[in-house]
């Protein structure tokens, strides 16, 4: 039985690896097809906007930290400020090193007693799911308002399927404890349900923070394109939402969505006439600003020996 499970996991990782390599190959071909004229037209026209985009990492990380702080308060885990900050940035580091940034709970729970680790894991994953819902919500709006994907126009069924996926996600998010029926005899499932019912607005607050973070993502991406002299308009904003929607659904192995997001951005935003060099630089810079830099900061912050919080 264990051997079968291990074989399935290996096959799943292998399939993801093939898809990941395929996306990187697609990105390589897309970059090779960029015309010389687009390279010549590429220019940083508004450097102060670039500074603003970098500064927006503060509310981005700040909102993520507020979600973590809210989670600790909700599950009633005692912590001091240093512990909250270090565990948060440890989560940023481990999240970056895992597929889809989902492994942030790994870095977090080592700073707390073993008795709290299951709940920290469950509620961190719920918090991550709230960010997923924010992406699919704005993505569905973009598909609806543009009457389909910008690379697949006039596809009514797509609007319906994305909408159904969004509704399903909301139902799971707000009623997840009712889907955990088979675990009802487990202590952690009972505690999970009790905490959620005792804190009725917890999920609403998480979702609001997640929606605000998504708006920050949008501002950073659109403003950075504007800094490279691209025109700001509603079509560009909606196309960016579609980029995040498709990126969220795409497979990844490590370092978040590096390589994948760039390929999708070139595919989607290039279809509406945005300079592909601007798209490439914007996507890479966004990853450096929002993912790599906070993770690097996290390494230095957490270097002060997390074992002082770790319980044997």
Residue 152 pairs in a beta bridge with 149
Query: For residue 122, what are its two tokens?
Result: 């469950």
Annotate 106-119 with b (16+ C-beta within 10 A) or e (fewer). bbbbbbbeeebbbb
Are the C-beta atoms of residues 258 and 287 closer than 8 Å to each other?
Answer: yes
Residue 298 to residue 107: CA distance in whole angstroms:
10
| 129 against 3, higher pLDDT | 129
Q: Between the CA of residue 136 and those of 129, 168, 184, what are the distances in Å?
A: 11, 11, 29
At residue 176, the pLDDT reads 85
**pLDDT at residue 311 is higher than 70:** no
At residue 115, the pLDDT reads 84
Residues 38-65: what's their mean pLDDT?
90
Query: What is the maximum alpha-carbon separation in the chain?
Result: 65
- Among residues 150, 300, 153, the alpha carbon closest in space to that of 234 is found at 150
**pLDDT at residue 261 is higher than 50:** yes
Residue 3 to residue 23: CA distance in whole angstroms:
30
Q: Which residues form the domain of 74?
A: 2-308
Please state the domain count of the chain.
1
The owner of tokens 């729970």 is 109
Residue 149 pairs in a beta bridge with 152
Annotate 32-57 with b (16+ C-beta within 10 A) or e (fewer). eebeeebeeebeeeeeebbeebeebb
If pLDDT is split at 50, 70 and 90, which confidence band does 116 have? confident
At residue 108, the pLDDT reads 85
| 312 against 261, higher pLDDT | 261
Hey, how many other C-beta atoms are within 10 angstroms of the C-beta on 293?
14
| 19 against 258, higher pLDDT | 258
Query: For residue 307, what are its two tokens?
Result: 């074992």
Q: What predicted TM-score, i.e. pTM, was given to this entire model?
A: 0.83
Question: In this predicted model, what pLDDT tens digit does every residue of 274-305 receive, in sequence order?
Answer: 998 899 889 888 988 998 889 888 888 876 55
DSSP 251-298: ---SSBTTTHHHHHHHHHHGGGT--HHHHHHHHHHHHIIIIIHHHHHH
Residue 138 to residue 142: CA distance in whole angstroms:
6
CA 97 remoteness from chain centre: 13
Residue 153 pairs in a beta bridge with 148
Question: In this predicted model, what pLDDT tens digit does every residue of 144-203 receive, in sequence order?
Answer: 888 788 777 656 777 888 889 999 999 999 988 877 755 555 677 788 888 898 999 999
Hey, how many other C-beta atoms are within 10 angstroms of the C-beta on 159?
17
């Amino acid at each position: 039985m264990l051997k079968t499970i291990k074989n399935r996991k290996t096959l799943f990782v292998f399939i993801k690896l093939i898809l990941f390599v395929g996306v990187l190959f697609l990105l390589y071909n897309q970059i090779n097809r960029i015309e010389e004229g687009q390279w010549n037209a590429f220019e940083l026209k508004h450097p102060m906007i670039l500074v603003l985009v970098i500064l927006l990492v503060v509310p981005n990380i700040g909102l993520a930290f507020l979600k973590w702080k809210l989670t600790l308060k909700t599950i009633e885990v005692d912590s001091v400020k240093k512990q909250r900050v270090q565990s948060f940035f440890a989560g940023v580091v481990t999240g970056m090193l895992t597929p889809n940034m989902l492994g942030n709970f790994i870095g977090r729970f080592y700073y707390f007693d073993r008795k709290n680790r299951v709940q920290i894991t469950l509620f961190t994953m719920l918090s991550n799911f709230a960010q997923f819902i924010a992406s699919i919500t704005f993505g569905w709006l973009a598909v609806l308002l543009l009457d389909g994907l910008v690379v697949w126009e006039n596809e009514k069924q797509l609007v319906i399927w994305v909408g159904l996926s969004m509704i399903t996600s909301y139902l799971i998010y707000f009623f997840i404890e009712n889907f955990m029926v088979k675990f009802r005899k487990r202590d952690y499932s009972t505690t999970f349900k009790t905490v959620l019912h005792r804190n009725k607005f917890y999920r609403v607050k998480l979702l609001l923070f997640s929606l605000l973070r998504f708006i920050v993502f949008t501002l950073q991406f659109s403003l950075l394109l504007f800094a490279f002299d691209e025109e700001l308009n509603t079509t560009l904003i909606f196309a960016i939402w579609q980029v995040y929607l498709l990126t969220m659904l795409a497979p990844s192995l490590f370092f978040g969505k590096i390589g994948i997001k760039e390929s999708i951005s070139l595919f989607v935003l290039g279809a509406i006439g945005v300079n592909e060099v601007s798209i490439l630089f914007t996507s890479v810079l966004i990853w450096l600003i929002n993912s790599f830099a906070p993770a690097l900061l996290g390494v230095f912050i957490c270097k002060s020996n997390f074992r002082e919080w770790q319980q044997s």
